[in-house]
Amino acid sequence: MSHVESTESTLSTLLEKQGIRPKLLVVDDQPINIQVMYQIFAAQYQVFMATSGAQALEHCRTTPPDLVLLDIVMPGMDGFEVCAALRADPTTCDIPVIFVTAHTDAAQETKGLEVGAVDFISKPVNPAVVRARVKTQLTLKFQSDLLRKLVFLDGLTGVFNRRYFDQQWSIEMARSIRSKSPLALIMLDVDFFKRYNDLYGHQCGDDCLRRVALTLKASLRRPADLVARYGGEEFACILPETTFEDAMQMASDLEANVRLLAITHEHSDAVGVVTISLGVAGRSAKASCDKDSLLALADAQLYLAKHAGRACVRGEQITHSGGAA
């Protein structure tokens, strides 16, 4: 077995164990071609479809697939234009594109690779060949995703770092505005952490932060939710497509779960264990606000939680009118 085959086999096993089915988007203006691709891939993958370039771009921006199988000749926006648009958008630039087309001349293939495609398959497709090529590109994508995530991990706590938070916050805000979906942000702080460090030492302080981070991460409910170390003893949670009410409930759960760790903190003015204070900011589906104003609102709510005695949650939502509710 070759190295690539071994890697693909390992990847398939890992995805199966985690219950993950990669998402493919088939883009073709001919329904019969979409049906052929669906029959080839439906058993192993989640298969989505689009019959125009505009539909494909909208789908990729709102529900990013793991790979796009893209026809070249389509009315309106052709495949080359679609691929170029995906590459130019920071929210979609990492999605691999394979052209699937009846045109087999070298000039078309060269142009396809120049605009950013990773492979070029001729119609009519051979099912075994197209499966193998898709699997290879998915393997490369997941490996690349893993390496990117390693760069974005906080060395102490193992959750995402501030750099990754800043990147994803911009992406999720843009996606929320584009898809008219709610978005929530939780900012939280470990209460009286300097006192904890001074009393128990920095090694215990590091262990405390690791345990808190692990608890926060384990408490999140959906794959799209993420927690990042924002700085020092402060963390942030991004909750896409989450209503303000659900975000407030999540914040209450986070507070309770950290308290249940029962990490002794004798110099806390809140209770005798390590606790967290949390500020929640929500954006309703129709709200008019940007990422900076929502971040500022979450930070302001965290400030209120600290001045309300700590170990508690405070929150506010920006409504469709642009004001807070």
Domain membership of residue 262 as a residue range: 162-318
Residue 285 to residue 241: CA distance in whole angstroms: 9
Exposure string for 239-272, b = 16+ CB within 10 A, e = fewer: bbbbbbeebbebbeebbeebbeeebebeebebee
> What is the helix, strand, coil percentage profile of the chain, to 5?
50, 20, 35
- Compute the distance between CA of residue 69 and CA of residue 147 in angstroms, rounded to an integer: 24
The edge-to-edge listing of strands for the beta sheet with 119-122 is: 46-50, 23-27, 67-70, 97-101, 119-122
Residue 2, pLDDT above cutoff 50: no
Phi/psi zone of residue 147: left (φ > 0), alpha (ψ -120 to 50 degrees), beta?
alpha
Higher pLDDT, 270 or 280: 280
The neighbour count for residue 152, using CB atoms within 10 Å, is: 17
**pLDDT averaged over the chain?**
90
Q: Which of residues 218 and 222 earns the better pLDDT score?
A: 218
Average pLDDT over residues 257-269: 96
**pLDDT category of residue 7 using cuts at 50, 70 and 90:** very low
pLDDT at position 80 is 94
Final residue of a structural domain among 150, 185, 217? 150
> Are 314 and 167 in the same domain?
yes
> pLDDT tens across 180-202, in order?
899 999 999 999 999 999 999 99
CATH number at residue 50: 3.40.50.2300
Whether residue 156 lies inside any domain: the answer is no
Checking if the pLDDT of 5 tops 50, the result is no
Q: What SS3 class is residue 227?
A: strand
In a domain, 194, yes or no: yes
The pLDDT confidence band at residue 254, using thresholds 50, 70 and 90, is very high
pLDDT at 255: 98
Domain boundary among 115, 150, 185: 150
Kindly state the average pLDDT of the residues 94-112.
87
The number of folded domains in the chain is 2
Kindly indicate the confidence band of residue 288, based on its pLDDT and cuts at 50, 70 and 90: confident
Active site residues: 233
Please compute the mean of the pLDDT values over residues 12-24 and round it to a whole number: 69
The yes-or-no verdict on residue 324 having pLDDT over 70 is no
CATH number, domain containing residue 187 = 3.30.70.270
Averaged pLDDT, 42-46: 94
Name the band, by pLDDT with cuts 50, 70 and 90, for residue 126. very high
What is the pLDDT at residue 14? 54
Question: Rounded distance, CA 316 to CA 190, Å?
Answer: 21
Q: Which of 131-135, 284-288, 313-317 has the lowest mean pLDDT?
A: 284-288
pLDDT for the residue numbered 221: 87
The answer as to whether 157 is a domain residue is no
More confident residue, 123 or 218: 218
Q: Is the pLDDT of residue 6 over 60?
A: no
- Is position 142 within any domain? yes
| Residue 38 confidence class, pLDDT cut points 50, 70, 90 | very high
Helices (H), the chain: 3-17, 31-41, 53-62, 79-88, 106-114, 127-151, 162-179, 193-200, 202-219, 244-259, 291-306
**Domain for residue 12, yes or no?**
yes
pLDDT of residue 3: 45
Q: Report the distance separating Cα 52 and Cα 79, nearest Å.
A: 9
Inform me whether the pLDDT recorded for 133 exceeds 60. Answer: yes
Tell me: do 241 and 183 sit in the same domain: yes
Q: What is the pLDDT of residue 128?
A: 94
Helix axes 106-114, 79-88, angle to 10 degrees: 20
